[in-house]
Amino acid sequence: MPRQVREQQIIDVAVRVFAQRGYHAASVDEIAELAGISKPMVYLYLDSKEGLFLACLRREAARLVAAFQEAARGAGAAPDLRLHAGLAAFFAFVAAYRDSWVVLHRQASEPSERIAAAVADTRRAVMAEVAGLVKDGIDDVTGGEGRGARLGAEDADFVAHALVGAADSLTDWMERNPGQSPESVTVRLMNMVWVGMRGVLDGEVWLPDG
Amino acid sequence: MPRQVREQQIIDVAVRVFAQRGYHAASVDEIAELAGISKPMVYLYLDSKEGLFLACLRREAARLVAAFQEAARGAGAAPDLRLHAGLAAFFAFVAAYRDSWVVLHRQASEPSERIAAAVADTRRAVMAEVAGLVKDGIDDVTGGEGRGARLGAEDADFVAHALVGAADSLTDWMERNPGQSPESVTVRLMNMVWVGMRGVLDGEVWLPDG
DNA sequence: CAGTAAACTTACTGAACGGTAAGGTATCGA
DNA sequence: TCGATACCTTACCGTTCAGTAAGTTTACTG
């Protein structure tokens, strides 16, 4: 069995086990056994437990970002449609590869500096992607004319954070409402966020004192 | 030193250590030492590592839910003001007790059935609280008259999930933008969500095909 | 003062786990 | 046929860590 194939097999299993047990509770012995291989092979190919986890992280992060970017790129020029396509791709990805998402994001207290850095990088990449689309959307709606409220890059960043967090949480909601398709969830979320943003840009502010 | 005081001291330290290291990487030895006590005391009072973690979970969950409920209750009758107050209390809580929130929510792959159940219970409680306020808000705006779109309990649940997820993620945003007060974050979030919801209730739908 | 219960310690055990040393087999080019 | 290189194994080491046994001190009470 050639090395490249074996490596992918090991990573396949590792993503599953890390997602199920978490980094610390996962044991290399178990991963090796489930991969139908002995432990030293894992160390020969992936160097260490941390290296194995980083390999999982890198592969799944690349997959997710690629899915998002391709969807957004292939959705024409309108920012709302691009954001919609990106979010739809995200939900579809999470629905299809639940373990990947868990490994990427739910790895709470990071076990090492390098892993923490890798997770932060992924998060930053996703966030920048979303914030970019939101910013385009703001500029598109504002279109130079002075609308009610001015929203800038900082606001786009704020919305992006809210959006990504909402999407993550809605992952659970999808699991508990199995009738809902990723597509319908996406449209619902767009309705909340996009309509709200458009409203704010039109000057429809909400304030605690009326 | 009486038992009740010691127990709280131990839990204080444990919340810190669990938040920093995660459940598995945290060692009872370290917690005991930081609490200025020997390990068997921890086992005498809290039974086991799992028992210790459950005690942390229960105490911090009660604090958070209480803060949310009290704020909402003390904010008058208008649903938007109650939701605003609840969210403000949440952001203030997370800002003040960061470790509590990490222990409550970021404990990714749950180490045991009982802990998973406790985390799920907390999450359900918070979600029900938020969904209730959102539902009140929908009914308040709709007010019996037939507005553009009908939103029901399922929609309130959807919005609640999105809102809680957004709030969680905005926790990070707050950390990266230290100039922002919990109060300003709350108002911004309310503007996104409430204005969007009101817009949808007024029939302003967003659809992928124009 | 005797007794007893609560608060607290040192010192240990057994198991799990990350990582490695040493070596075995098979395939392929010279 | 003779390396040599890639693939793979068994068997082990050292450490960490949850959990416990046994005993000590302090303080209160009859």
Q: What is the pLDDT of residues A32-66, one digit of tens each?
A: 999 999 999 999 999 999 999 999 999 999 999 99
Query: Averaged over B2-27, what is the pLDDT?
Result: 96
pLDDT tens-digit series, residues B50-103: 999 999 999 999 999 999 999 999 999 999 999 999 999 999 999 999 999 999
pLDDT > 70? residue A24 = yes
Q: What part of A 6-35 touches B (C-beta under 8 Å)? A: 19-22, 24-25
Q: Is A51 on the interface with B (CB under 8 A)?
A: no
SS3 B49: helix
Residue B121's identity, in one-letter code, is D
What's the pLDDT score for residue B209?
84
Q: Which pLDDT tens digit goes with each residue over A168-205? A: 999 999 989 999 999 999 999 999 999 999 999 988 99
| Alpha-carbon gap, residue B210 to B205, rounded angstroms | 10
B8 CA to C5 C1' in angstroms comes to 22
3-state secondary structure chain A: CCHHHHHHHHHHHHHHHHHHHCCCCCCHHHHHHHCCCCHHHHHHHHCCHHHHHHHHHHHHHHHHHHHHHHHHHCCCCCHHHHHHHHHHHHHHHHHHCHHHHHHHHCCCCCCCHHHHHHHHHHHHHHHHHHHHHHHHHHHHHHCCCCCCCCCCHHHHHHHHHHHHHHHHHHHHHHHHCCCCCHHHHHHHHHHHHHHHHHHHHCCCCCCCCC
The answer to whether residues B53 and B115 touch, using CB atoms and an 8 Å cutoff, is: yes
Q: Chain-centre distance of CA B200, in angstroms?
A: 26
Nearest residue of chain A to residue B88 (CA atoms)? A208
Nearest to A14 by CA among A41, A42, A47: A42
- Name every chain B residue with its beta carbon within 8 A of the beta carbon of A154: 177
What's the length of chain A? 210
In A111-181, where does DSSP find H-type helix?
Answer: 113-142, 153-176
Instruction: Summarize the confidence of residues A16-45 as an average pLDDT.
Output: 97
| CA of residue B28 to C1' of nucleotide D17, angstroms | 8
**How long is the CA B103 to C1' D14 vector, in angstroms?**
32
Q: What is the pLDDT of residue B62?
A: 97
Q: How far is A124 from chain B (nearest CA, A)?
A: 11
Q: Quick check: A121 CB within 7 A of strand C?
A: no
Domains by residue range for chain B, with CATH: 58-201 (1.10.357.10)
The answer for B144, left when phi > 0, alpha when psi is -120 to 50, beta otherwise, is: left
User: Do A166 and B162 count as a contact with CB atoms less than 8 A apart?
Assistant: yes
**pLDDT score, position A25:** 94
Q: Is residue A145 very low, low, confident or very high in pLDDT (cuts 50, 70, 90)?
A: low
Indicate if CB(A45) is under 7 A from strand C. Answer: no
Q: Ranked by mean pLDDT, which of A197-201, B43-47, B109-113 comes out on top? A: B43-47
Q: What is the pLDDT of residue A143?
A: 72
DSSP secondary structure code for residue A145 in this structure: S
Query: Both tokens of residue A186?
Result: 């996406």
Which is nearest to A198 in space by CA: A34, A66, A95, A80? Answer: A80
Do the Cβ atoms of B193 and A194 come within 8 Å? Answer: no
CA A14 from centre of chain: 19
pLDDT of A165 strictly over 90: yes
| pLDDT at residue A140, as a whole number | 86
The distance (Å) linking the CA of A41 with the C1' of D5 is 16
CA–CA distance, A186 with B125 (Å, rounded to integer): 25
pLDDT of residue A108: 62
**Residue A106's pLDDT is what?**
74
Chain A: residue whose CA lies nearest to B191? A206
Q: Which pLDDT value is given to residue B148?
A: 59
- With H, G, I as helix, E, B as strand and everything else as coil, classify residue B38: coil
**A58-111 residue pLDDT tens:** 999 999 999 999 999 999 999 999 999 999 999 999 989 999 999 998 776 777
Read off the pLDDT of residues B147-196 as tens digits, 9 standing for 90 and up: 556 788 999 999 999 999 999 999 999 989 999 999 999 999 999 999 99
Q: Is A92 exposed, middle or buried (0-12, 13-18, 19+ CB in 10 A)?
A: middle
